[in-house]
Structure 1
Amino acid sequence: MVSLLKPLMDKHPDFGTVFAYVRPLWYDDLSSIEEELRNREEEDRRIREKALEGDIIKDNEVPPRRVLDLYSYRVVPWWVAAMLIGLPRAVSHAWMDKKDRESVWTRINGKQWPVFLPLGIDSRLLRNEWLNEGCQYVWVDVFCLRQEGGLREDLRVEEWKLDVPMIGFVYGEPARLVWNAGPIICYLSGLGRPLSSNVDMTSDRSWFRRAWTLQETSTDCVIAGLTDEETTEQLESLRADIQNAVPPLAGLSVFTTIPSSLVMRVLSDMKKRVSSYSIDRIAGLAYIFQGTQVPAYYKSQTEEEAWLKLWRASSLECRAQIFFFFPQPGRGEQKWCPTWEQVLSEELPVVECDPTEKWYGHLYYEKEGPGRPFAWTGHCIKDGYVCGLAKEDPSVRVRSGELRITDGSGTTHTFRITANHQYPIPEDSYELWGTSGTGSTFTSFREPRALLKYWVLGHRQGTKFEKFSIFQINEEDERQRLIKSGLAQGPNAKGEPRLRIDLC
C-alpha cells in the first residue's frame, strides 16, 4: 500500500490531500491509481486550454478548476472528484467589509492563498454545516478560486481569465439539474454567520446588492446559518425575496427561450448593485446573456471594452433585446446598442410582455466579417413616416403616435404605435426594422403576438443602418392589418429571413 501511495505522498506531503486524491478511486484497482490520475489531469488540462481562445471562452460549460472535498477537508482539482460528483454543491454568499473579515492561511487549500472569512468564523463549523446538508463536495469562492495576496499572483491572473466567468456555470440552474448538484446553499448575512432576522437589503455588503450574486439567483436554494429565532413566515419571505430578485433568470440556458423582458430587467437590477472592481458588474452579466461563448475576465480592461466584448459573445436574442428595447442610439463605437455609461445614467424603459410571449430576433456578430460585424435579419419597411412622438410627455409612461406608409399605388396606410419611453422622435420618414417572429435554432414555430410588434427606426449610412430610436405596435389588430397589407418585407415562403442589414 505504501509503495502504491508513495508517488502521491512525495508530491503532496499533507496526508489529507493524499486521502482526497485516493478516495474517489478507492474501490478500483489501486495499482492503476497513479496512471488514472495522470490521465484525468491531462484531459482536464486539454479542456481548459481548448476552451480559452484569445479573449473569448469558446466552451461555456467548463467545470470549476477546484472543489472542496468535505471528507478530507482539502481543496482538490475538479478532475480528482469528477467521477463522483459531476458538479459540486454551490455556496453563495456576499463578502464582508475588510474590517469585518480576516485572512486565514490554512492547509485546507495548501496555503496557496489567504482564505477570507468573516471575523469569528471557524472553518471547521462551516464543514460541519455543509456535511449536515448531505454534501461531499462544495464550491465556494474563498476556498476554490485563487485569491489575491497568494503565492502565485501571476498564476491567479491567468486562472481568472477562465475561472471567474465560469462561476456562472457552477450556479446555473440547468447545469445543476443535469448534473444533479443539488440546491444552492445561500448565506444572506455573510459566510458562516448566523442568519439575522433583519437582513439589511440596502447595505452595500448585502447579498441582494452585490454584482456577482445576481447570477446566483435561483428558484431553489437552502438558506444557511439558521438559528432558533427565525419563524416559518420569515424564512418563506426571505426565499421569496431571493426567487423574486430577477424572476426571468429562473431556468435559463442556451436551450430555453429567453423572456422578452430579460435584458432590460437584468440591466435595471445590475446598475443598482455594487462590486469591488468596476468591470465586475459587466462581467457578472456574461453568463446570463450567454450565447455559446463567454468573454474572458481581465480586471485591467475598461468598462466600455468589457461591455463591447459582452455583446460580441452574447446570444442572438439578448443582442436583439438591447437593439429593440433601449430607446436611444449608442454614443460610442456602436450605434445599435448603448454604451455602459448610458445604461448607468439613463432611465431604462419598463418592458411589459405577456409572460408566454416568445420572439426570436437574430442580431448576428460576424468576427471575420469586413467592417462593423453586427447585422440584423428580420422584417423591413424602407420608408415609414412617424409622427406624434416628437415631444416628451412626463404625464404618461407610454406615449401614442402614428406610423404612415404609402404603398405603390399612392395610398397611405396609418397604424397606431406607442413608445414606452420619453426620448423625442422627430416627425420624419425613417427606415424601419421589426421583429420577425422567426423560430430559433431549437424551435421552428412562429409566435404571432411578437410578429411585427417591436420596431427600430433610423436611417441608412451607406450600406449600413444607424439606429435612432424605437417604438412598438402593441395592438394585435393593427399588427394584423400591417401583415395583411404586405408593406413590411420579411421572411420568404419557407419562413427564412431574406432581409438583412449591417448595423452601425
Structure 2
Amino acid sequence: MHKPDCAVCTPRRDSYFTFSPHVDLSSTPSNAYIRKDTGAYSITGKTEAFSFAVSDQNTNIIMALKRKIEHVDVESNDLEDHPRRRGYRYEPDEFALSAFTETGRAELSIEVPKQRSYTGRSPVIPRALADTPCATLSIQGILDRLNATLRTSYTLPTAPSSSTSAASAAPSSATSVQDQVSLLSILEGCIQKNYDFGTAYAFLRPVWNTVNPSKIQDELRRRERRDRERRQKALVGNRIVDPYMRPRRDWDLCSNRVVPSWITGTDRVRGYKPTPISHAWVDEKDRVDVQTPINGKEWPVPIPKDVDLNLIRIEMLNLAAEAAEGYGTRYNWVQGPREDLRVEEWRLDVPTIGEVYQHTKVVIYLNGLGRPLRLKDGDLDSDRSWFRRAWTLQEVGLVRIIAGDTPDGPMHAQRVNSRNYETALLTRFHEELNSLEDIGFNFLAMMASMQKRVSTNPVDRVAGLAFPLSSYTIPAYHESETLEDAWTALVNALAPSTRADFLFMYPGVGLGSKKWRPTWDQVMKESLSQSGFSGYAEVEHNDEMDEDSYSGSCIEKGYVRGFDMGSAENHVRSGELVIKAADGIAHTFEIKVTHRLPIPEDTYTLLNSGDEYLTNQWAVGKQLPDQRFEKVSVIDGVYSDMNGDGLAEFTERRYFVLV
C-alpha cells in the first residue's frame, strides 16, 4: 500500500489536528489520522477557529473564525446554564507572543509581518510553558498557572493526597471541598499521564470555568461519547450519511497542542463553522519532517524547510483565529503511528474534508504552508501550484484571504491599465484569482476546472468533487477504487437537483452504462460548456434497483430539425421544433442550442427542466417501452411560434426511467 504523506497541524478557537477515532483523557492526542497526500491539522485559540487540512500535494489549512465578544469559552453545552458558568473576560492586549520568544528569531527577520508577534485577547501560553512537564511544575504549580491564565481562583484541599506532591492552599468559599478534591484528582492525573502543561491546558481550558470542577471528568466523557457515537452512525455501508463531520483532532492555538476535537466542544450543528485555510504542498526536496511537541512527537510533521509551526501559530492568531482544524493531509508518511487505523479513518474523514470550506471564508497559502507569497516564472504551471491541485477545488469558499502576504508581494501589484499588470505573470496570477469567483456557481465550470488539476492518487479528483457538486451523502473513500466506480458512486450520492444538471446541461450521450449522464472519462476529456441554467427538475436514484428516474413536464412528440450538422465551435445555433396539435395543425417553434454537437433530424420526446413553470432547458431523446427515456442531446431555448403561442398546451406530466 502506498503510504500517505504525514500529518500536519493547523489552528482554531480550540484548534484542530486530525487523528485517531477514540481518544480519552488518558490518551493524549497521538496517532495522527493522515490522508494520503494530505496532511491533517486543526488549531484552537479563543475567539475564533481555524481548520487545517493538507490535500495530497496540496495542504489545506482550515481556519475557523468564530468570534465571541469578550468571551473565551467553548461552544455551548448541556451545562451552559449552570449557575457556576462564568465567561472568561479579558482586557484587550493582555496576552502576547513574539517570534523571538517562540523561535529565537528577531522579529524584523521574519518576512511575513503577521508572523512576527501577536497581542490580543486569546489566552495563549508561551511555547516554553507549554513544553514544561506537569511533574516539574507540581500540582500546585499547575493550578497556579491555570488560575493565572484563565483568571480563576480555584484552590486545593489543605491536606493533599498521599500520592501527590504538596499542594496546600486554604479552602475558600469560591471552591467547595468536593470541587477541591476533584481538582486534585484531575491534576494528579496530568502528572501520572506524563502530560506537559500545554497538554493539560488544552484538555482543561474548554471546561475550566464552564463546569463545576467535580463535573469536569463527566463532561469530557460525555463529549467524547457523543463524538464517537456520531462517527459510528455517519458511515452506513459504503456511504457517508452525515457528511458534516468536524475534524477528529484539533491544534489548540492557545495551548499549542493537538487534542481530540471533542475536547473543544465545537460542532457545526451547534453553530460552529470554520473559516478554512488551504495551501498546496511544496516539492518533497523542499520539505522536511519535523518532530514537534505540538503533537507529542507522535508522528513527523512535513512542512517546508523554511517554515516554523510556531510562526504559523502567530499568523493564525493574528487572523483572528484560535483554532485550526486539521482534516486530511496527504503526504508520503513513512512510519506513521497506528497504521491499522489509517484506512478505516480515511473511509470517513477523507471524503468529508471539504465540508469546512463550504459557504464560508477561506484563508489560502498560495506559495506553500506558512511561506511568504512570492511569484516567479513557472509557478502557475507547476504541478505543485495551488491552482492545479485536485483537492483545492473544494476549498475555494465564498471569500478568500491570502495568507503569507508581504508589503511588496503580488497582492499589492498595481494595474497598468484596466486589464493588465506590469508583467504577463502578474496579469495571469490575478486572472486565476478572479476566476475563483465563478467556479462555485456552475457545476460544469467545476468539472472543467478539475480537468486541469492533478493529484497523487487519481481517485482524489473524483472525491474532490463531492462537496462542489452538492452531495446529500458521500461515498466512503477507497484509494484503490477504479475511477469509473468512484464516479458512479458519487453521481448516485448527489442531490437529485445536481443529477438533473447532467441530464439538462451536459449535451452529449454517456458512453458507459448510463446514457443520460457522462462517464468520468468523458468529464475529464471533453470540452464542457459553462453556461446555462438547469432549472428545478430532479433526477431520483433508486439504490436497490440501480435506476434513475425523472418526473416532470414533457412534450411527447416533437420534430426537431436544423441541427444535423455539428459545429466546430460553441456558439448559438437556431433550428425548429414542429409539434402537431390534436386538431392536426402543425405549430413551429424556434429553438436554439449553444453546444456544437449534432442532433439528427427526427421525432423526439422532450423533457423540461422546470417544475411548476417551463424553462428553456430541454433534454431531447427517444421514448422506449416501459416508460424509459434514452437521451440524445439537449436544447437551450424554445420560443413562441409565429402566432405567439407558447408550449404549455403541448406539455403533460410524465414519469420516465432514464437509461
Q: If the length of structure 1 is used for normalisation, what is the TM-score?
A: 0.84
CA distance in 1, matches of 2:345, 2:332: 8
Shift of 1:423: 1.8
CA distance in 2, matches of 1:22, 1:37: 9
Look up the match of 1:361: 537
Give the direction of change, closer, same or farther, for the CA distance of 1:248–1:60 in structure 2 (3 Å limit).
same
CA distance in 2, matches of 1:270, 1:5: 51
Look up the match of 1:225: 404
- Aligned-pair identity in percent equals 40
Match of 2:321 among 135, 143, 147: 135
Where in structure 2 are the equivalents of 1:355-504 lying within 5 Å? 359-368=535-544, 370=545, 372-394=546-568, 397-438=571-612, 451-463=614-626, 464-473=628-637, 475=639, 481-484=645-648, 486-490=649-653, 499-504=654-659
Give the direction of change, closer, same or farther, for the CA distance of 1:299–1:478 in structure 2 (3 Å limit).
farther
CA distance in 2, matches of 1:477, 1:428: 19
- SS of the equivalent of 2:366 reads coil
Q: Which amino acid aligns with 1:201?
A: L
8 A contact 2:555–2:607 mirrored in 1: yes
8 A contact 2:280–2:389 mirrored in 1: yes
8 A contact 1:97–1:205 mirrored in 2: yes
Q: Which amino acid aligns with 1:193?
A: R
Q: Which amino acid aligns with 2:536?
A: Y
Look up the match of 2:433: 242
CA distance in 1, matches of 2:586, 2:636: 19
- SS of the equivalent of 1:432 reads strand
Look up the match of 1:46: 229
8 A contact 1:89–1:137 mirrored in 2: no
Residue 103, structure 1, aligned to residue 289, structure 2: yes
Look up the match of 1:493: none
Cα displacement string for residues 147-178 of structure 1 (whole angstroms, at most 9, x for unaligned residues): 674112221111111111221111112xx5xx
8 A contact 1:364–1:374 mirrored in 2: yes
Match of 1:3 among 185, 195, 198: 185
Look up the match of 1:93: 279
CA distance in 1, matches of 2:324, 2:358: 15
Q: Which amino acid aligns with 1:312?
A: N
Match of 1:305 among 467, 485, 498: 485
Shift of 1:221: 2.6
8 A contact 1:75–1:143 mirrored in 2: no
Q: RMSD across aligned C-alpha pairs, in angstroms?
A: 2.7
Residue 16, structure 1, aligned to residue 198, structure 2: yes
CA distance in 2, matches of 1:474, 1:14: 71
Shift of 1:389: 0.7
CA distance in 2, matches of 1:480, 1:53: 54
CA distance in 1, matches of 2:252, 2:635: 54
8 A contact 1:452–1:479 mirrored in 2: no
CA distance in 2, matches of 1:478, 1:242: 46
Look up the match of 1:263: 443
- SS of the equivalent of 1:134 reads coil
Match of 1:208 among 374, 378, 387: 387
Look up the match of 1:165: 351
8 A contact 2:590–2:640 mirrored in 1: no
- SS of the equivalent of 1:327 reads coil
- SS of the equivalent of 1:164 reads helix
Cα displacement string for residues 305-355 of structure 1 (whole angstroms, at most 9, x for unaligned residues): 1111111111122111111111111111211110000111211123145xx
CA distance in 1, matches of 2:301, 2:575: 59
Shift of 1:142: 6.7
CA distance in 2, matches of 1:103, 1:419: 54
Cα displacement string for residues 74-102 of structure 1 (whole angstroms, at most 9, x for unaligned residues): 11111101259934442210111222212
Look up the match of 1:278: 458
CA distance in 2, matches of 1:144, 1:387: 52
8 A contact 1:74–1:107 mirrored in 2: yes
Look up the match of 2:370: 192
Look up the match of 2:42: none
8 A contact 1:366–1:373 mirrored in 2: yes
Where in structure 2 are the equivalents of 1:65-84 lying within 5 Å? 65-83=248-266
8 A contact 2:589–2:639 mirrored in 1: no
Give the direction of change, closer, same or farther, for the CA distance of 1:243–1:272 in structure 2 (3 Å limit).
same
Q: Which amino acid aligns with 2:459?
A: I
- SS of the equivalent of 1:386 reads strand
8 A contact 2:279–2:386 mirrored in 1: yes
* Structure 1: unaligned runs, 5 residues or longer: 177-182, 250-258, 439-445, 491-498
8 A contact 1:197–1:234 mirrored in 2: no
- SS of the equivalent of 2:372 reads coil
CA distance in 2, matches of 1:88, 1:420: 39
472-481 or 52-61: bigger deviation: 472-481
8 A contact 1:68–1:144 mirrored in 2: no
- SS of the equivalent of 2:264 reads helix
8 A contact 1:316–1:364 mirrored in 2: yes
Q: Relative contact order (C-alpha < 8 Å, sep 6+): which is higher? A: 2
* Structure 2: unaligned runs, 5 residues or longer: 1-182, 416-426
Q: If the length of structure 2 is used for normalisation, what is the TM-score?
A: 0.65
Q: Which amino acid aligns with 1:502?
A: V
- SS of the equivalent of 1:482 reads coil
CA distance in 1, matches of 2:287, 2:343: 23
CA distance in 2, matches of 1:113, 1:227: 32
8 A contact 1:75–1:144 mirrored in 2: no
Shift of 1:121: 1.2
- SS of the equivalent of 2:650 reads coil
Give the direction of change, closer, same or farther, for the CA distance of 1:144–1:428 in structure 2 (3 Å limit).
closer
Cα displacement string for residues 384-443 of structure 1 (whole angstroms, at most 9, x for unaligned residues): 1111111123266222211111122221111111222222221111222111234xxxxx
Shift of 1:57: 1.1
8 A contact 1:56–1:295 mirrored in 2: yes
Give the direction of change, closer, same or farther, for the CA distance of 1:264–1:14 in structure 2 (3 Å limit).
same
CA distance in 2, matches of 1:294, 1:90: 20
8 A contact 1:290–1:313 mirrored in 2: no
8 A contact 1:290–1:314 mirrored in 2: yes
- SS of the equivalent of 2:303 reads strand
Give the direction of change, closer, same or farther, for the CA distance of 1:144–1:333 in structure 2 (3 Å limit).
closer
CA distance in 1, matches of 2:232, 2:294: 27
8 A contact 1:197–1:229 mirrored in 2: no
Rg larger in structure: 2
8 A contact 1:63–1:87 mirrored in 2: no
Give the direction of change, closer, same or farther, for the CA distance of 1:87–1:192 in structure 2 (3 Å limit).
same
- SS of the equivalent of 1:405 reads strand
Shift of 1:58: 0.9
8 A contact 1:90–1:171 mirrored in 2: yes
Look up the match of 1:120: 306
Q: Which amino acid aligns with 1:187?
A: Y
Q: Which amino acid aligns with 2:488?
A: L
8 A contact 1:146–1:156 mirrored in 2: no
Q: Which amino acid aligns with 1:106?
A: T
The count of aligned residue pairs is 459
8 A contact 1:350–1:420 mirrored in 2: no
Cα displacement string for residues 264-320 of structure 1 (whole angstroms, at most 9, x for unaligned residues): 111111111111110111111101222431222111111111111111111122111
